[in-house]
Structure 1
Amino acid sequence: MDCRYMKKVKSVMQWGKILPLSSIRYYPPQFTLRNMEGVKNAFEAGHEVAVIVFKLSNLHDLIEQADSQRHIKFLKNVKKLFQTVVEQTVNPKEFITLHDYYGEEITLVITVDHDRHSISNIDILLKKITDEVSETYFNQYSTAYPTFDVGYMFIDKYDYSIQNSIFRAHRLAIGMAEKRKQLEINEMLFAINNIITKRSITLLAQPIFDVATKEVRAWELLTRGPKGTALEAPLQLFSVARQTGRLYELEMIVLEKIFQQVKASRCRQDIFVNCTPITLGNIKFTSDLKKLLQKYKGISPKQITFEVTERDSIEGLKNFVFNINVLRLMGFRIAVDDTGAGYASLNTISELMPDIIKIDRSVIENIDKNSVKESMLKGLLLVAREAGSLVVAEGIENQEEASVLTRNNVDLAQGNFYARPAMFFDEIAT
């Protein structure tokens, strides 16, 4: 029998002490996912699926410090800690599987919702997992600090074969983790470089309505990559840009495209722009923004609101708070996005005192049937009024949800119930 197969059997047996055997997904060397129900269910629900690879970056150094028995024990303890940390960190509704593929590599597969996740959100989750595993291992065993290289990629839901798409996503994730110059990674680098060089992105616009008057008060602009490509969806586009060091350039191109369309359409309503804290905290951001204002004269900073997703951590970003203060002095407004559904809780609001608070869809969904959610809404409204912030409720899907906003005097709302994002901003904004 193939020795690699025997090693995998032993690996599954070892994991059986950590997980019930019914929950184990076994993969032969080609990374075949035999039970793909979790992936299929995610796709049917309209979500994406991310394949995340954690690769031990200091494995060889650790081997040199230990004999074979300690090496095996080390790997076993690390894998056991990974299972515990993942259980504590990943939402059970988003978890699909955790898999020990080769000795130095662990693969996590999770569901990702476009409406509930951001690129920084994913980065924070992965950092939290690796930091917790390393710290806990060192504290328990005091022998080593395991460190990890991490890469991730999304499964192409439109591939003719889901299994082929999973295999490709896994290889790409390994390449991202190892920064290998393999063909497929080069293809991704070429694709993102081509998008940035040609500025080939599309903007969608979704209106934001006054709840009381039903009038359009603002527009949120949404980014898409080249239509029909693997980077069309925003999560794929921005995740590849993030992992290849092109995120700042991409976001500045998006911002310039927005300025172009606002000027071309002569729109006078407010514009909401998503921007990662990584970009907002870039030392060049405010000076580059001033250049854009000079280039597109006539656009008032008071018209532009930068959305900072509440899930994104602002800790450790040296220039972030300084830049936010500069933006305010320039006249721009700041919104905290996804309030009520993030890692940063309400600390971001208390630190930034935003002009606008956007309440996450997770709070609004079925709020008409859930008194606890309505109480959460009332609490967030109190926080907003204490901070002097306007409130935007996101993701309104039906009349029943909208009626709850009306009776609670929510300021603004957006969602498919009011209007779906449209392709031609210059037409709908005039």
Structure 2
Amino acid sequence: MGCRYMKMVKSVMQWGKIFLPLSSIRYFPPQFTLRNPLIEGVTDAFEAGHEVVVIVFKIRNRQDLMEQTEAHLQSKLIKNLKRLFQTVVGQEVNSKEVITLHDYFGEGINLLLKVDHDRHSISNIDIMIKKITEKIEQDFIKLYPSQYPIIEAGYMFVEKHTYSIHDSIVAAHRHAIGMAEKRKQSEINEMVLAINKIINQKAITLLAQPIIDVSTNEIRAWELLSRGPKGTVLESPLQLFSVARQTGRLYELEMIVLEKMLQQVKASRCRQDVFVNCTPISLGNIRFPSDIKSLLQKYRGISPKQITFEVTEQDSIEGLKNFAYNIKVLRLMGFKIAVDDTGAGYSSLSTISEIMPDIIKIDRSLIENIDKNSVKESMLKGLLLVAKEAGSLVVAEGIENKEEALVLTRNNVDLAQGNFYARPAMFFEEIAT
């Protein structure tokens, strides 16, 4: 125990502190007991309705870099590497989302972020991590042309439903390190076993939230929302899909969701439209058209015209070779395509112009307090014009009160969805009958 302690002390002393230039980002130095400010930051995020993700960046060849550097320059190398992290994170991450950036226990650079189901996707995290690591590697080579840092990254969400926030942070940190080090499945963490069990048992629950016709207040469609096993770490869709993606089982998980959707549509004899999220990665899988055709044959009587695939605008479609082709095939089969989270993602209006969706779903960040913000209403009007040019219907998401709903009415928005109309319900078959 004493040797391990001294090793940790030496590692921490070597890395030292990371000071961010952003005054709004709090830095907590490495230590052996989590300080209250860090726990308070995570607690505050939970109370505000956010999730918290721990991202670990490990320099796999750190020792090699040190050995290649003269002894009197090693301290400067470490300072430059840390400075690159603080600069790049400041450039790539919204400071309001950062809880802390530090070298926790000397095991790599750790970034704790607040994330929101409605404003983030797993692709966001992956893209952000990729940008940070690539930028750091590129800038480091400019400083040290003969050296190249190999950065590995992993992430895990902090479990909310536990008696100890401290233990949850430590566990998430440990899991993230496992992901970063790409250990064998049996060694990563119990999350891998959990996701395997969920997929093998098809242990997915679907909630349903109605989509309302703004002019008549009638239900026009339903959006199905995925959840993992109730009361478990993977109940949260962010955690569920992040683990599936990092362990290479995302496509299998999404196909289970689609099968569950068809099961419930058939069991309920629902004749209204049904919306279901699907990542561009899965939609771009070469197997997707044939697999969805097989599911339709298994659950005969369901028309593809009844199903709308929601493509999250925050998810990048760049570089997905089969995505555009698959979208065309799905449309020929009769499926409709929606672009989700419009106004919140990185891809902006380019996704709409490329997909030309049947439906544009406006992100709740634009709708929130729109009755008190004339700029937001002007942005809404602009998106309505875009939708008209594209021939798309518009769904406004996240309606929480009557005042927001009235803004939609006076702007002739087609459809709306949110807790003001109805909260997601546990049993889709009970709602749809």
Q: TM-score, normalised by structure 1?
A: 0.94
Corresponding residue for 2:177?
A: 174
Contact 1:175 1:182 (C-alpha < 8 Å) held by counterparts: no
Give 1:26 shift: 1.8
Q: Note if 1:109 corresponds to 2:112.
A: yes
Query: Percentage identity across aligned positions?
Result: 70
Give CA-to-partner distance per residue, 1:259-304, whole Å, 9 cap, x none. Answer: 1111111111111110111111111111111111111111111111
Give CA-to-partner distance per residue, 1:224-279, whole Å, 9 cap, x none. Answer: 00111111111111111111111110000010000111111111111111011111
Contact 1:397 1:415 (C-alpha < 8 Å) held by counterparts: yes
Contact 2:338 2:357 (C-alpha < 8 Å) held by counterparts: yes
Inter-partner Cα distance in structure 2 for 1:22 and 1:261: 45
For 1:271, which of 260, 271, 274 is the aligned residue? Answer: 274
Corresponding residue for 1:297?
A: 300
For 1:57, which of 52, 57, 60 is the aligned residue? Answer: 60
Give the aligned residue type for 2:403. Answer: E
Corresponding residue for 2:409?
A: 406
Contact 2:31 2:105 (C-alpha < 8 Å) held by counterparts: no
What is the DSSP-based 3-state SS (H/G/I as helix, E as strand, rest coil) of the residue aligned with 2:234? Answer: coil
Inter-partner Cα distance in structure 2 for 1:233 and 1:355: 29
Q: Which moved more, 1:255-264 or 1:26-35?
A: 26-35
Inter-partner Cα distance in structure 2 for 1:29 and 1:184: 24
Corresponding residue for 1:224?
A: 227
Corresponding residue for 2:350?
A: 347
Contact 2:228 2:237 (C-alpha < 8 Å) held by counterparts: yes
Inter-partner Cα distance in structure 2 for 1:63 and 1:10: 11
Give 1:192 shift: 0.7
Give the aligned residue type for 1:8. Answer: V
Corresponding residue for 2:288?
A: 285
Q: Note if 1:337 corresponds to 2:340.
A: yes
What is the DSSP-based 3-state SS (H/G/I as helix, E as strand, rest coil) of the residue aligned with 1:241? Answer: helix
Inter-partner Cα distance in structure 1 for 2:225 and 2:25: 41
Give 1:183 shift: 6.8
Inter-partner Cα distance in structure 1 for 2:248 and 2:204: 18
Corresponding residue for 1:158?
A: 161
Q: Note if 1:419 corresponds to 2:391.
A: no
Give the aligned residue type for 1:260. Answer: Q
Any residues of structure 2 matched to 1:76-87 within 5 Å, and which? 76-87=79-90
Task: Identify unmatched segments of 5+ residues in structure 2.
Answer: none
Give the aligned residue type for 1:330. Answer: M
Give 1:76 shift: 2.2
Q: Which moved more, 1:366-375 or 1:75-84?
A: 75-84
Inter-partner Cα distance in structure 2 for 1:305 and 1:3: 55
Cα root mean square deviation, aligned: 2.2
Contact 1:27 1:34 (C-alpha < 8 Å) held by counterparts: no
Q: Which moved more, 1:117-126 or 1:244-253?
A: 117-126
Corresponding residue for 2:327?
A: 324
C-alpha distance 68-270 of structure 1, shift in aligned 2 (>3 A): farther
Q: Which moved more, 1:61-70 or 1:299-308?
A: 61-70
Any residues of structure 2 matched to 1:70-219 within 5 Å, and which? 70-101=73-104, 105-181=108-184, 185-219=188-222
Contact 1:26 1:34 (C-alpha < 8 Å) held by counterparts: no
What is the DSSP-based 3-state SS (H/G/I as helix, E as strand, rest coil) of the residue aligned with 2:18? Answer: helix
Contact 1:268 1:303 (C-alpha < 8 Å) held by counterparts: yes
Contact 1:50 1:109 (C-alpha < 8 Å) held by counterparts: yes
Inter-partner Cα distance in structure 2 for 1:312 and 1:21: 27
Give the aligned residue type for 1:126. Answer: I
Q: Note if 1:247 corresponds to 2:250.
A: yes
Inter-partner Cα distance in structure 2 for 1:22 and 1:225: 33
C-alpha distance 52-190 of structure 1, shift in aligned 2 (>3 A): same
Give the aligned residue type for 1:325. Answer: K
Inter-partner Cα distance in structure 2 for 1:20 and 1:150: 25
Contact 1:57 1:149 (C-alpha < 8 Å) held by counterparts: yes
Give CA-to-partner distance per residue, 1:121-154, whole Å, 9 cap, x none. Answer: 2111111211222223334543434332111111
Give CA-to-partner distance per residue, 1:357-410, whole Å, 9 cap, x none. Answer: 000000000000000000110111111111111100000000000000000000
Give 1:15 shift: 3.1
Contact 1:58 1:147 (C-alpha < 8 Å) held by counterparts: yes
Give 1:317 shift: 1.2
C-alpha distance 385-18 of structure 1, shift in aligned 2 (>3 A): closer
Corresponding residue for 1:236?
A: 239
Q: Which moved more, 1:197-206 or 1:315-324?
A: 315-324
Give 1:159 shift: 1.3
Inter-partner Cα distance in structure 2 for 1:394 and 1:18: 36
Give 1:60 shift: 4.5
For 2:264, which of 261, 266, 273 is the aligned residue? Answer: 261
Give the aligned residue type for 1:311. Answer: Q
Contact 1:18 1:80 (C-alpha < 8 Å) held by counterparts: no
Contact 2:311 2:337 (C-alpha < 8 Å) held by counterparts: yes
C-alpha distance 111-19 of structure 1, shift in aligned 2 (>3 A): closer
Corresponding residue for 2:70?
A: 67
Give 1:70 shift: 4.4
Report the count of equivalent residues.
429
Give the aligned residue type for 1:59. Answer: R
Corresponding residue for 2:312?
A: 309
C-alpha distance 53-288 of structure 1, shift in aligned 2 (>3 A): same
What is the DSSP-based 3-state SS (H/G/I as helix, E as strand, rest coil) of the residue aligned with 1:144? Answer: coil
Q: Note if 1:8 corresponds to 2:12.
A: yes
Contact 1:114 1:235 (C-alpha < 8 Å) held by counterparts: yes
Q: TM-score, normalised by structure 2?
A: 0.93
Inter-partner Cα distance in structure 1 for 2:318 and 2:20: 37
